Amino acid sequence: MIGRCPNCGIELDKSPFTNRETNEVMIVMKYRKKLDSNEEIKSLEELGYCEICNATLKEIKEQDNSK
């Protein structure tokens, strides 16, 4: 399927997995709900985590550094 969060771009099948949603169906449903209801998706910097998959900025940076 998608393999990445459509909001933050973290790869769903790679660590770290701390309290992060990795189920693609749930992520797509959450994302589509926001888009369909015209809700604004808050920025990662504003919240400190991804509103769609719950990945923290630290997790995203850790995954980027491991490449």
Tell me the Cα Rg of the chain. 11
Q: Is pTM beyond 0.75 here? A: yes
Per residue in 12-64, pLDDT (tens digit) is 999 888 889 999 999 999 999 999 999 999 999 999 999 999 999 999 999 98
Residue 62 CB partners (closer than 8 Å, separation 6+): 16
Q: Are 55 and 20 in contact (CB under 8 A)?
A: yes
- In angstroms, rounded to a whole number, what is the distance separating the alpha carbons of residues 18 and 59? 8
- Amino acid letter, residue 7: N
Domain count, the chain: 1
DSSP 14-27: SS--TT----HHHH
Q: Sorting pLDDT into bands at 50, 70 and 90, what band is 67?
A: low
Range of the domain at 39: 1-67
